[in-house]
Each structure stands twice: as structure tokens, then as C-alpha cells.
Chains A and B, each alone.
Chain A
Amino acid sequence: MTSELLASKKNNTGIQFDPRTKMAVLFTLVIIILGGSFQTTLYYTPALLPLLFFLFSKMWKSAAIYAVTFLACLCLQFFAVPYVPGIPGYLLMIIVLLPLYFSPSIAIAYYFVATTTVSEFIAGMERLHIPRQITIPMAVMFRFFPTVMEEWKAIGDAMKMRGIRLRGGKAGAILEYRFVPMLMCCVKIGEELSAASLTRGLGGPVKRTNICKIGLHIQDILFLLICLAGLVFQIILWIIG
């Protein structure tokens, strides 16, 4: 019932990837698709990557949704957009191009959050030698986000019950009613959370161990090479013109 940013439970189906690989693929895809001119055929190849990931992890439903959305938009772009004139044509173009443009990045981002646990993510960051000053606040954020959502919902319920709704220019008051109690609750939870972590020795002078098993396997290396190739190709394209 809670909304979580990253998975909190390990999902063991299909082929597993290292969090670093997923991050690299996400990064590459965003660069190529948003940075490159997407009219080129280069665009359609990276669009296959999310599909591959979904299939490897046996996420059949996500794979189907992604493939259908992408293909439908592609068909519309080729067979409908050029033939619809005027303003409706422009509208259709926007409706078709937006998903075409963003769906690969969104799909891979979804794959990342749905299959990576917080511990894996932190372990990955540690292997990349990202300093603790960054990894610990990030870990706290992942822990905290669902809690904030819970508080948000509870306060929303309280407002609904008391009949406090948008009416008669009270928008400012509504914001205040929602944020003041939420901040108070979050501060309190944050305070208790830090106290609890400190009594478990967080932030001690020794090097922290991480029990999470991550490592680069053959599938990771394969995908990392694909990413590298894509990036190099993109950079060459930029240089050429």
C-alpha cells in the first residue's frame, strides 16, 4: 500500500544485472535519445534496450506494454502524422512524438527502480567510490520517501474528514494546512530515526561493510560494451556535425 522509490524486496526472477550496469544504460539512453537527433536510425536501436531488460527479467507485462506503446506510436508517426493537415495534425504529432521520445528512458528508469533494492543501489554507489556524504543521505531519502507519502495521505484524510477543500480563494491556507503538520511529523520521525541509527553505530570511525552481493557478470559486461559503443558513436556524430 505504500509508494516506494526503490524496491525494498529482492526479486529473483530471470537474469540479474548489477546496479552499475543499469545506471550506465539509463545514462547512455538519456544521452543518446535526448541529446541526439532522434530522426536517425540510431534512435531505434537503443529503444530496444529496455525491451531486452524486461525480457531478461521475465517482466512480461511491462515488456508488452512498452513494445505496444512504442510500435503504435511509430506506426502513427509514419502512416498518420504526414496525412493529417492543420492544427489536428500538430496535436497528433505532439501526442505521438512525446511517448516516442520519452518512453525508452521512462521504461529503463522504471526497470531500474523496480528491480534494484536500496541495499544494491548503495552497494553499487560504494563500489563506484562515491563518498559516504552522498550515499548516506541518499539511503535516508529512499527510506524516508514512503514515510513522507504515508504522512501525506494521513493528513489528506484528516482534511477530507474536516471538510477542508479548495474553495473561496483559500489555496494558500490549504497549502499551509497540509505542509505544517507534515513538516512537523517528518521532523519528529527524522529525529527518532537518526537517534535509532546512532545507537546502532552509524557514522563510526571504521570502514562500513556491506553484505549485499553485487558484481559484474558476463551479461553486465556485454551491456556495458553496448553502452560504450553507443556513447562513442554519439560523440562521433556530434563531432561530425
Chain B
Amino acid sequence: MIECIDVSYSYHGDQEKATISCKGGTLKNINCKIENGTFVLLCGASGCGKTTLTRLFNGLIPHYYDGELSGQVLLDGKEYKSLSLFDISEKVGSVFQNPRSQFFNVDTTSELAFGPENHGLPKDEILNRVKIVAEQLKLTDLMDRSIFSLSGGEKQKIACGSAATIEPEIFVFDEPSSNLDAFAISDLRKLLITLKAQNKTIIIAEHRLYYLYDLADRVLYLKDGQIEGDFIGKEFAEFSSTQLEEMGLRPLVLDTLSQLDTQKRCSVGSPWVVDNFRFTYKKSKKETLFLDKIELFPGKVVSVIGHNGAGKTTFSRCLCGLEKRCKGNVIHDGKTYNRRQRLKLCYMVMQDVNHQLFTESVKEELLISMPKENEQTVDSILTEMDLSEMKESHPMGLSGGQKQRVAIASAIASQRPIILFDEPTSGLDLFHMRRVADAINKLAESGKTILVVTHDPEFILRCCDCVIHIEDGHLKEHYELQEAEDRQRLLSFFE
């Protein structure tokens, strides 16, 4: 049982630390009691304190992250402060947001054995537990594999397994779905059902509610660091979409999305034609991408969907000219663009924007993207993207959302006609997701050709005109989103 009595918390020296991992996230006067065997969903907008609360529950606060903590947090009646992380790790297992950074080992079996190894259990006992957990959580196919060969969803399942081998009573999840596709999310749901059936206590902080709201026994709604609502699961499931929207939450049922108004934009100018794209991985004999002909219209937004590994990312990388092994051209107005020329034609806003912010100030960042440096244009773009106040700040010191806007601003500054977005909304709450959608709509209205690789159906309906569905490297479907039945077709892919 976990109990919080008058708990308040704030991260130390906010500014510096906040840039690395914990934006906002202070807590005020938290009082709650979590009984054994309950499934608790923590929800709320970004920065509301969900993640901070999970860190209190797994002991990373106060033992790993510094900060000012007042009040008492109790685990089975003992204060977290008096327990060591090692003691806590016996009772609480954690799964984190980023599948890339939660493995200590490089192979899956060692990773599952890692917890019990640290606890010094006898070897046979460990091997036995690894076997049982692998069977229970259906990980047997993933055993004895290299971590680096797994997809994000597989990694997340191994992370759950790794937490489960210590046999904790409590599982704490921090936004486990934010980097996963629709397929992997439904696997994650099955895994949560298994854990729930074992009568474990499950505490999960999440933005995407559609895949788990019906599992929750209890829902805690946080706002600005306080518990604003404490609902019984069934009660929460009845909430209307307008109620949820007022709370800043994503919808529970995807179906309601088909009523959204989609964009009705006309294309301006002639299309960019993707002609005969072929791509083969090194050491692989089979071609992984064959796209004969796709037309991309200026002034429209195209979303690229498909399961993980279907070739969406490969396609966008080929389009940008980043894959040397890619054969094929892009034709526009009778002019052919080869790979090298496409490097100057396209601009990709990457999933991890940290990879593409290089300079010391936001202004500088835009200037180096421009074909010809021009400070006036910089000012007007910054005003448009709501960044003028940060003109002189270091990009790495900004919040995640602001960094993303800087990357979009440099895409505009580059004056390139085609702009790609790779998973721009992974891990974003309703408010921030809409903000990105608005930015993309504006870009489209200014005549850019836009491609968005995404797993977020709501986001697609808010800003995309049509859908390219890629499976196994082939173009499966290409359709517009104007009609209600097409929107239904899109949603059925995500269910």
C-alpha cells in the first residue's frame, strides 16, 4: 500500500535541471492512499506532475532526483526516505517512457535476469523466474536476442518483463506508450491485463487513454500539481468527449474522432512525383521498399501510416536523400531531382529534435538554415512561431515543445518546398498536440508540401488531407480524408 500525506515537491534549481529531464512537474498538497491490487491511472496535461508522482512511488524521488520534498510518502507504512532504493526495488518495479534508455544489458535474457542478479538470488532460482516471467508475459520469442535488434514495442515488453522478475507487488509505469505504434500498444494492453489478473498494484501515468481506460479501477486527474479529480474507473469511462476536452485529456474512444472536421484545402501548383523508389538494406537480399509512384501536392498535408517496420521511416529518409542506397527520383514540373539534390529540397523535423539543434541561440539556429542570411525574415518567422522572446536563448535550454517549434521555425527559414515530420506528437498531451497541428496547418496554407509520419489518429484528423498507408515496403492505400467513411477507414487501422 502506498500513502501520501500532505506531499509537496519541487525540483531544485528548476531552470538547469528542467532542461534535461523534468520540465515543470511540481506537486502541491497531495493526499492519497493506493490500496493493494488496484489499477490506478494518472492523467492530466504535460507538466501536471504525473511523472513526478510516479517518481515518488518508485523512490527515485528523493533518492535520485534532488528537490524539496515535504510531507510523508509511505510504502507499506514505512517512509520512502528511510528505505534505500535497493529496498524499494524489491517491492516496486518500474517501466519508463523511453524504450531506448532503460536497459542495462545488451541481450534480453540478461536483462530479465538483471534485477534478481542484483538482489543476489541463487542462479537456479533466477533462471527459473526468467522462464516463468517469459511465459506469463509471452516473451519467449524475444529471449536470447540483442536489445539493439528489437523494435520499440518489443523493448517496452522486455522492460515490463525485467521489472516482473523481481516479483514486486507494485508496478509503476511512466507513459509507456509514448513511443509505440498501434500494434505495440495493443500488446502492451494485453500485458497490463495479465499483470492485473495477477492482482498486482498497477500505477500508470499516461496521455493516451483509449487503450487502458477500461482497465482502471481508479483514475486520478492531476492539474498544476494537485489532485483535481479522484474517480472510480467506471465513472471515468462515462465521461463525454467535451468533458474530457475541458480537462485537457485525449479521447477515450477513437470513434468520436470521425466527427472531426478535416481540412479542405486545394493543392497549389503541380505535384512532386515520387518515382520508382527502391531501397535494400545492407547485407539483405530482399528489397525493403518499392514505391512506384506517389504524388505529393503542394499546399496539402499527407500522413504516412503503417505498422512499425513497414518502411515509413525508410521512405521518409529516402525522400530526404539521407539513404545513399536508395534508388529513385523525385520529379516536379518536368525536372528530375536525384538523391543529392533532394538533400536541398527537403527538411525533416526529427522525432528527437535534440539531434538537430546545433547553435548557441535560437536566432543563430534560423540563420544557418537560411540559403541567404536575413535577420528581418528571422524576426518575422520567430513572431509567427511564438518564439520571439527566446530569440537569444540557447536552444538546449528550452522546453520540449519550444525546441520542436525552433526546429519547425528553421524548416520555414530554410525555404525548402517539402517539409517532413517524423512522429511530431509522440508523448504530447492534447494541448501541445493541437499546437503542432496548428503549426502544420499554417505551413500547408503557405504552400509547402508536407509529409507526416505518425501513429496518432487524432493528430492526423486535425491536420492531414490525405493518407499514405505503407505495408511491407509497398504502397497499400492512398486516400483523401474528406468523407466520413475514409476517416472511419483510418480509425479502423488504429483499432
Do A and B bind?
Answer: yes
A163 adjacent to chain B (CB < 8 Å): yes
Which single residue of chain A is at the shortest CB-CB distance from B165?
A200
B93 neighbours in A (Cβ, 8 Å): 199
Q: When chains A and B are docked, how far (Å) is the Cα of A191 from the Cα of B66?
A: 13
**Stretch of B107-115, B202-210, B237-245 with 4 or more beta carbons under 8 angstroms from chain A:** B107-115
State whether A211 touches B356 (Cβ < 8 A): no
Is B372 an interface residue when CB atoms closer than 8 A count as contact? no
In the assembled complex, A220 has its CB within 8 A of some CB on chain B = no
Q: For the complex, what is the distance from the CA of A198 to the CA of B84, rounded to whole Å?
A: 10
How many chain-A residues does the 8 Å CB contact rule pick out?
Answer: 59
Please pick, from B130, B149, B354, B368, the residue contacting A185 in the complex, using a CB distance under 8 A: B354
B89, A200: Cβ atoms closer than 8 Å: yes
B118 touches A201 (CB 8 A): yes
Decide yes or no: A209 and B116 within 8 Å by CB, A147-B100, A181-B358, A192-B96 being known contacts: yes
A118 close to chain B: CB less than 8 A? yes
- Alpha-carbon gap, A178 to B358, bound state (A): 7
B60 within 8 A of A: yes
The 0/1 profile, CB within 8 Å of A marked 1, for residues 392-424 of chain B is 000010000000000000100010000000000
Closest to A202 in B: B118
Nearest CB in chain B: distance from A229 CB, A: 35
Say whether A208 contacts B117, CB under 8 Å: yes
- Flag whether A168 is at the interface (Cβ < 8 A): no
Per the bound structure, the CA–CA distance linking A78 and B414 in Å amounts to 61
- In the assembled complex, the Cα of A1 lies from the Cα of B323 at a distance in Å of 13
User: Is residue A217 within 8 Å, beta carbon to beta carbon, of the partner chain?
Assistant: no
B90 interface residue (CB < 8 Å to A): yes
Chain B residues with a Cβ closer than 8 Å to the other chain, count: 76
Given the known inter-chain contacts A162-B414, A185-B355, A198-B64, please indicate yes or no for A204 contacting B118, CB distance below 8 A.
Answer: yes
- Which of B64, B110, B410 has a CB less than 8 Å from the CB of A212? B110
B351 to chain A, nearest CB (A): 9
Give CA–CA (A212, B117) in the complex, Å: 10
Q: In the bound complex, how far is the Cα of B60 from the Cα of A142, in angstroms? A: 25
Chain B residue numbers with a CB within 8 Å of A118 are 105-107, 110
CA–CA, A154 and B353, complex, Å: 10
Chain A 184-199 interface residues, beta-carbon cutoff 8 Å to B:
184-185, 187-189, 191-199
Cβ of A178: which chain B residues have Cβ within 8 Å of it? 358
| Neighbour of A192 across the interface among B98, B106, B166, CB < 8 A | B98
User: What 0/1 readout, one digit per residue, does chain A (151-185) give for beta carbons within 8 Å of chain B?
Assistant: 10011011111111000000000001110110011
A184 touches B104 (CB 8 A): no
**Contact A197/B119 with A9-B146, A177-B358, A212-B110 known, Cβ cut-off 8 Å:** no
A176 to B360, CA, bound (A): 10
A200 with B120: CB separation less than 8 A: no
A194–B281 CA distance with the chains assembled, in angstroms: 33
Q: A198-B64, A206-B120, A209-B117 are in contact. Are A119 and B127 (CB under 8 A)?
A: no
Are the C-beta atoms of B106 and A195 separated by less than 8 Å?
Answer: no
Q: B145 contacts the other chain (Cβ, under 8 Å)?
A: yes
A-B residue pairs in contact (CB < 8 Å), sample of 10: A1-B281, A2-B148, A9-B149, A147-B101, A157-B317, A158-B356, A188-B20, A195-B60, A200-B162, A205-B86
12 further contact pairs, Cβ within 8 A, besides A9-B145, A181-B357, A211-B123? A9-B144, A10-B107, A157-B317, A158-B358, A162-B356, A162-B368, A187-B20, A201-B166, A205-B86, A206-B119, A208-B120, A209-B123
